[in-house]
Every structure is written in structure tokens, then in C-alpha cells.
Amino acid sequence: MGEVDPAFIQAPEHRPKLSAREAQGIPLIDLSPIRSLDLDGDFSISDGIDELVKEMGSACKEWGFFQVINHGASLDRRQKIEAAAREFFARSSEEKRKVRRDSVKVSGYYDTEHTKNVRDWKEVFDFTVQEPTIVPASLDPQDKQVTQWHNQWPPHLREACQEYARDMFKLSMKLMQLIALSLGLPAKRFHGFFKDQTSFVRLNYYPPCPSPHLALGVGRHKDAGALTVLAQDDVGGLEVKRKTDGQWLRVKPTPDAYIINVGDIIQVWSNEAYESVEHRVMVNSEKERFSIPFFLNPAHYTNVEPLEEMTSEENPAKYRPYNWGKFFVTRKRSNFMKLDVENIQIYHFRV
């Protein structure tokens, strides 16, 4: 989930020649050292994962993006959901629009053809991880009422999606433990925030684009949640804005890897020790592309603010608290109506 830049028509950019290290792209992290650990118990750097923790911290701080291999997530279930996604998007428009999302049913199918939105050249299918997902019933800060979001399931898609979502949540919790340790926090410091998660998964389909210089698969944006875990096919198209010089860098697909990026919530929790980074998706004139991002989000009642451990007299909190549920619902509403003002961003809460 991200707010795209209105300047979505992008001319090809001149890119300087990259050094050998930079040309390799975002960091690639091998998670083998934690495969044998009991992640349901308590573990720490003393368990022989100090180098992995340092590597994770460096990737979060310097890039905000990295890829993971030997992650332990089921490749069979990944292949199953990829096949299900291809089958779903190959159906007729009439069939897909039977589960079209709207302001009441916020999960489901969406296509740019139906909305005449030329910014994003894609079709998507969204579903929430927790069923039902509990969110605020209104945007009134004083209103404590909640409502339920239910998924819409077309035939032959539910099982593959739910199995995959469970795998991605488990992987996300492993990564959050490593990120916590890299910040000098207990491994399970973040776990309590996700008891009643509002996480969701998006199936993305990018058809071949006849005028790739006039459109983007997804415009430049940052992710509003805690962490994003992305599976992309071998076509690629994801580009990351490198922090060192602001240049856009294409993320080369790595077989069976997942691409991870730090979201805005981690930026706030860490008091900007780690920052979320802009990224976008370029379209392809010849090949279709599929990707599946998992967006890790906390419970609706979470008040997002810098952790006490990450602030001090010398490093005071850089953000005022904000309620995630109200924030999340506001962002979701922007999918269905034109806003009179800029969509809500974390910098609106910066001190």
C-alpha cells in the first residue's frame, strides 16, 4: 500500500555507471543461520547469529531493501499461489469483476481499465490475512466502534492464498526478530503489535504495455506498514531509489528469493534509525509480469510512535503517536474516492 507520485509519466533516466558492488543490486542475505533455531522461544545474538544480525542492520540502515535466501518458506506453496494467480487473471473481465472491491468490500479484484486510471498499469486481487480483519468503523478519533472486513473468494483461490499467507507471516516474524536484535532490542520486542494483525496480500498482474514510456506498473511510493515481503517472477521490474545518490536501481530477480523492504512503521518505531525507501515498478512492452507482496501490518488499536528504547534526551522522539487503524482505513478509503487533500503520510506526524 503506497501513495503514488502524481508525476507518473516518467522519461527514461540517465544512470551513471555503477561500481562492481553497486551493480550487484540490493543486499542478498542468507538466513541459514536461523534455520535451526527455535524461533518460538527466546534467542539472542549469543546464539551465533551476530554476523547475520549485523548484516540485517546494515541492509536496513543503508538500503531499506534486501533479498533473503534459504528463508525456510515453502516453495511448493509459493508455486501453488503463483499458478492460482495466473489462472485467476486469465479469466474473463466479467468473471473477475464478480469479486471486485469497493468501499464496503475493500478486498477483492481491481483493474485500471474499469476505473480509467492510467497511472498504474496492472490488475490486482487483495485479501486480508486475518479473517475477519477488525478495523475502526469510522475515522472519528473519539469513536471506538469497530467493524469487520471480510474477503471475497473466487472459485479455486482461497486455499492457496491462505496457506501462502501463513508462510509469509511466519517469515515476517523471523525478520522482525532479526531487525529487533539489530536495533539492540529483545528479539520479540515487536511481536505483541501483531496479535490482531491487519496484514494483507496482493496478487499483482502487469500486462504487456504498448507504451511503457507513458505508464508505470506502480508509481513511486513508500509502504505504510511495518514490513513488505515480495515474491516476483523472473521478468522483474521493481526499482529502488538508492539512498546514497537518489538513483533508481533495478532489482534483479533471484530464484526462490524474497525481496524485503522496511515500511514507514519501522521508520517510526526505530525513530529513524531505519527508513523506508521509495520504490516503483516499471512495465514491460513484451512480457506480462506477476508479483505477490505480503504487507505486514499491526493491530488496528496500535498507536504507532517511536519506541521508548529508541529515544533519549539527546535523541528525542521524532514523531507524534498516531493510531494505525484510523491511518489504515483512511488510506484504504483513498482507493475509492478522490480526496480533496493530500493522502495521509507519516511525515504529517513528524515533530
Is 43 within the bounds of a domain? no
Q: What is the pLDDT of residue 209?
A: 84
Q: What is the mean pLDDT of residues 59-65?
A: 97
Contact 112, 123 (CB under 8 A): yes
Count of domains observed in the chain: 1
- Cβ–Cβ contacts within 10 Å for residue 132, how many? 11
Is residue 294 a contact partner of residue 199, using CB atoms and an 8 Å limit? Answer: yes
Contact 334, 144 (CB under 8 A): no
pLDDT by residue (tens digit) across 161-188? 999 999 999 999 999 999 999 999 999 9
Read off the pLDDT of each residue in 132-154 and give the average, rounded to a whole number: 94
pLDDT score at 14: 35
Task: Report the pLDDT value the prediction gives residue 343, as an integer from 0 to 100.
Answer: 74
Q: What is the CATH number of the domain that holds 119?
A: 2.60.120.330
Range of the domain at 222: 49-349
The enclosing H or E element of 325 equals helix 324-333
Asked if residue 197 belongs to a domain, the reply is yes
Please provide the average confidence, as pLDDT, over all residues in the chain.
87
Q: What cell does 181 get?
A: 536484535
Structural domain contains residue 259? yes
Residue 10 inside a domain? The answer is no
Whether 228 maps to a domain, the answer reads: yes
| pLDDT over 70 (residue 338) | no
In this prediction, residue 25 has a pLDDT band, given cuts at 50, 70 and 90, of: confident
Residue 1 belongs to a domain: no
Mean pLDDT value of segment 102-109: 92
| pLDDT score recorded for residue 336 | 62
Question: Does a structural domain hold residue 191?
Answer: yes
Whether residue 11 is contained in a domain is answered as: no
| This prediction's pTM | 0.89
What number is the average pLDDT over the span 34-50?
73
- Under 8 Å between Cβ of 204 and 121: no
Q: What pLDDT score was predicted for residue 219?
A: 82
Query: What is the structure's pLDDT at 121?
Result: 84
What pLDDT score was predicted for residue 326?
95
